[in-house]
Structure 1
Amino acid sequence: MKRFLILLPILFLTGFAQAANNPKSGTDSLRRFFNEVNSFSARFSQVVLDERHSPIQESSGTLWIERPNKFRWDYDKPYKQQIVADGKRLWVYDVGLQQVTVRALSNGLGDTPAMLLAGKGRLDDNFKIKALSTQNDLEWVQLTPKHKDSGYEDIRIGFALGKLRALEMVDGFGHVTRVTLESPRENIRIESTRFSFTPPEGVDVVGE
């Protein structure tokens, strides 16, 4: 099976508003998360669909986020992989291949969901935001990157009662990465070691 590094996914694991907040729209929920949520964790399941919307990969795992610029994305199925951003560098560890790739966090991520999720700043600087119609009991928001090097043509986020329930990212090849979240927690204390990474002894390290 071809391995996909989906920096994600890394993506949009946006938080869950309390029902009492009664957000008016998916756009309100998105902005609330971006402005008020500083840490987040959840279980995730992820499927990649080809241009015909046929599944070509399924995976699952756990993620943690702490602003600014720290996240960890641990895949446990179908193979083990860790993606860790420590605030300065991005580490990708493929356990099966015994290989680690490292690069500066700012290189190549641009306006990806990863940086939207863990970064600080104004959404409108990097994305065009548009409220979409309600489908399957979800209020959808569309984010279109303003810069062409983001890696994604289109990002759609679905909320139910202010809670993020779905995330879809469309790349330039028409492939769709669809992510769903379970057991989300926001503004929690996360151990600092969660966002540090030391390559295990004996593995190949490629990059900066």
Structure 2
Amino acid sequence: VPKLLVRLTIGLLLSFWGSSLTPRLLAQTPFRPDPTTLVGALQQHYDQVRDFAADFIHVYEGGALRMKATEKGTVLIKKPGKMRWHYNTPEDKLFVFDGRTIYAYFRDEAQVTVSPMPRGDEVGSAILLLTGRGDLVRDFRPEYVELPDLASDSYALRLEPIVPAPDYTSLILVVGRSNLMLHQLISTDRQGGTSTFQFSNLEENLGIADSHFSFTIPADVEVIRHDGVSQ
């Protein structure tokens, strides 16, 4: 998967840390709630999530290059703005967001890219949600969508940004009916490519230490800087 594409997709991921109906009441409702009610409940839930950890499978297909790639790894996320994405299959690469700077470490290529964290006014509402300033109800038009193999204990919700986003045209969230945990995130980019993240073993509010989000540039690697710091 191209490096820029990986970075843009990761920018979407932590967007979704988030009515009158609580998650418990939603689980007890025999019919699915209207999309706006579900989005409100999601926002309420994700507002209470301070951090989470999960395994993931990332599949990208289509786009300008007409490619398909499948990768696997683990992720740690902590508000506000801290992330650690470790891809371990088929190649080893690491993305660390420390709240101010993004480090992308491509171990096999002995290369590190350093970029500033985008400011909220520079990006679409996905990143604004990541920083805690966005709102699923305010920033998206929600509708249910039918997906093949959708589990009976899940909701699939398509979100169209009200203000066009630079990185994607739409998002699909697949969440658990009983706990509103994120099972899957599907984004469609402006080249027609689809990026799907499937999560497993997801755990919330673990008290993840800040030390997981620090990064020291290894010796003897090529460093490409986009943060205005001279090498």
Is the TM-score greater than 0.5? yes
Greater RCO, 1 or 2 (C-alpha within 8 Å, sep 6+): 1
TM-score range, shorter-chain basis?
A: 0.7 to 0.9
Distance in 2 separating the partners of 1:6 and 1:33 = 27
Aligned to 1:110, which of 104, 123, 126? 123
After superposition, residues 161-176 of structure 1 pair within 5 angstroms as 161=177, 162-176=180-194
- 1:123–1:97 CA distance, 2 compared to 1 (3 A): same
- 1:20–1:119 CA distance, 2 compared to 1 (3 A): closer
Secondary structure of the 2:207 match is coil
Q: CA deviation at 1:189?
A: 1.1
Q: CA deviation at 1:133?
A: 4.1
Q: CA deviation at 1:49?
A: 1.4
Structure (1/2) with the larger helix percentage: 2
Moved beyond 6 Å, runs of 4+: none
Question: Would you say the 8 A contact 1:43–1:182 is kept in 2?
Answer: yes
Structure (1/2) with the larger strand percentage: 1
Structure 1 residue 186 corresponds to structure 2 residue 186: no
Match of 1:6 in 2: 6
Match of 1:152 in 2: 168
Residue correspondences, number: 203
31-40 vs 179-188, which deviates more?
A: 31-40
Percent identity over paired residues: 23
Structure 1 residue 23 corresponds to structure 2 residue 26: yes
Q: CA deviation at 1:125?
A: 8.6
Match of 1:79 in 2: 91
Match of 2:155 in 1: 139
Question: Would you say the 8 A contact 1:83–1:91 is kept in 2?
Answer: yes
TM-score between both structures, scaled by the size of structure 1: 0.83
Aligned to 1:50, which of 53, 62, 78? 62
Deviations 1:28-87 (A, max 9, x none): 4521343111111100001011159x8610001011111111111110011011111101
- 1:22–1:94 CA distance, 2 compared to 1 (3 A): farther
Deviations 1:138-194 (A, max 9, x none): 312222234445311111101122232211000001100011100011111112111
After superposition, residues 61-76 of structure 1 pair within 5 angstroms as 61-76=73-88
Q: Mind listing any 5+ residue stretches in structure 2 that lack a counterpart? A: 28-32
Structure label with greater radius of gyration = 2
Match of 2:214 in 1: 196
Q: Mind listing any 5+ residue stretches in structure 1 that lack a counterpart? A: none
- 1:123–1:179 CA distance, 2 compared to 1 (3 A): same
145-154 vs 172-181, which deviates more?
A: 145-154
Q: Which amino acid aligns with 2:172?
A: R
Secondary structure of the 2:109 match is coil
- 1:125–1:30 CA distance, 2 compared to 1 (3 A): closer
TM-score between both structures, scaled by the size of structure 2: 0.76
Secondary structure of the 1:194 match is helix
